[in-house]
Structure 1
């Protein structure tokens, strides 16, 4: 648990412990207490040694806040939470909570021996280095972390797969935690960012309206199969005058494609989906619906269906 707000008579150590969720470095502690007093707290069990140079001013299991502080303090001066860890702290949902990602200046060498001796209630810490970390990429937060846009760009670069990288960027925009323009500004400031080309293309697709990974897959599918690019998340009024958003829409040929995620299986969405589909049909447009998994697993089949629908509506591929 985060230490309670210190009383009026609290000393500097109490306030430091409050600010850092009860986690302090040995250097911080010995600036305020004698070395003997610090050793006595640890030997008596009142305090807990987490790893070399980092102490817990208590003796319980580490909370999530304390784990984050350990990751930053054990890594050394200039360290900040980064990647998926920083993005999750900024409120982006659906990201992996472990390992903890920390970013340090390129000239610093974090001690792997320290991070390799963490206790069982402390997740692994992955240290990344960067030569580009301007003040604009930092968030005023405790523990210190990168801003949401930088966190998502780094997380995409550090992701294990391309799909995971795109899903991370899409999640941040879909949840309204960051804008495509903010992501673009960060990417332009990082000429050596890993997966830079992919990130730029993904952000461009998101800017066009593809806010879900399935929609990004669909845009890429159209591009790869020589189909015209659809408008994404198009605003349109239905028969009752209510504003609807169409996943993908070719206005010139009156073709609408819906990419159905898992939420479309929910009975609460089912009736609304059918009504929207009926509104499209009665207006004279064509509509195709594909489950998100099919877009990824059988792109050729999906592309063939879309191509036939476009040709039936009058599209002719340029030769």
Structure 2
């Protein structure tokens, strides 16, 4: 006689509890391990209680799938040795303001891959079990993921951006990213990434600071101090670029300076520096892209006003 199934069956309760830690998603293997048969899965899907995600995962509700659930489904689709990689691993680790069209999953070269257009599942020669964190959702370690995200980025600009973002948001340290980069022996972007990581190790904390540092060197202007700490009665703050000997400060205004939570703080910091007698120049990142020479002229003028002179 066939087993009578109810949605309050202990097996189904256990399944929902397990799925709660996986964005509402379980793999077929997990469901079968709970003694839920493929026929019962089919019945729940037909009753519109559950949804199939690819051919290896089941969403145990009939509502929208969360980003976390999408990531779990992608890993299950990739197979037992699969893991989130590149930008997807960084996002799972907490990286913000970085998006991907599809979840990226890596498997070892030669592994059987169940292709699905919903996910970006790739074999890679860079896959190694020692690089994978298997607490929670399987994902590549953050420093490794940052380098791979940069290697796989669509453009050099995006590659630079994701490395800066990872360091800026403390997802991975510049030192750890640099150590990981030493493992890359061949890649068309290797030289670029070495340049970016060297800048990050030297203290650059935003994409604009890296750009300005390169332009200053080309122009023959003195190297600035980066992320110098200043204190006033309101607390301490960091200066993007400064030349203490010439009483000049340059602040690089990226898009984050326009966010509401930063506007007041930026104004107070600017005013405090000016009251101490320093000249403060602000360079919007967009202006740096469109009119770099005009802003470099102002920096040079500020340095000369502070007493600097080009060596003969």
Q: Same fold (TM over 0.5)?
A: yes
Specify every segment of 5 or more residues in structure 2 that has no aligned partner in the other structure, as ranges: 1-7
Displacement, 1:148? 1.8
- Identify the residue that residue 63 of structure 1 maps to in structure 2: 66
- Per the alignment, do residues 67 and 171 of structure 1 end up closer, same or farther by CA in structure 2, a change over 3 Å counting? same
Change (3 A) 1:130 1:317: farther
Shift of the 177–10 alpha-carbon distance from structure 1 to 2, 3 Å rule, reads same
Q: Which residue of 2 aligns with 1:189?
A: 183
Residue 136 of structure 1 deviates from its aligned partner by 4.7
| TM-score (normalizing by structure 1) | 0.79
Q: Deviations over 1:118-162 (max 9, x none)?
A: xxxxxx422233223344532233221112222222222222233
Asked whether the 8 Å contact 1:264–1:273 carries over to 2, the reply is: no
SS at match of 2:105: strand
Contact 1:217 1:296 (C-alpha < 8 Å) held by counterparts? no
- The separation in 2 between residues aligned to 1:141 and 1:194, in whole angstroms, is 33
Please give the TM-score of this superposition, normalised by the length of structure 2. Answer: 0.80
Say whether residues 1:161 and 2:155 are aligned partners. yes
Work out the CA distance in 1 between the residues paired with 2:113 and 2:28. Answer: 17
Q: State which of 171, 176, 197 in structure 1 corresponds to 2:170.
A: 176
Between the aligned partners of 2:63 and 2:256, the Cα distance in structure 1 is 40
1:213 Cα deviation from its structure 2 partner: 1.5
State the partner residue of 1:272.
268
Secondary structure (helix, strand or coil) at the match of 1:205 reads helix
Q: Name which of 189, 192, 199 aligns with 1:198.
A: 192
Which residue matches 1:302? Answer: 295
Is the aligned partner of 1:148 residue 2:148?
no
Q: CA deviation at 1:168?
A: 1.7
The match for 1:95 among 89, 95, 98 is: 98
**Unaligned runs of at least 5 residues, structure 1:** 1-6, 117-123
Q: Which runs of 4+ in 1 moved over 6 A?
A: none
Match of 2:85 in 1: 82
Shift in Å at residue 181 of structure 1?
Answer: 0.8
In 1: Cα distance, 2:11 partner to 2:39 partner: 21
> How many Å apart are 1:43 and its aligned residue?
4.1
- Does the C-alpha gap of structure 1 residues 271 and 104 become closer, same or farther in structure 2, counting only changes over 3 Å? same
Q: 1:220 to 1:168 in 2, by over 3 A?
A: same
Equivalent pairs counted in the alignment come to: 299
Measured after TM superposition, the shift of residue 232 of structure 1 is 0.8
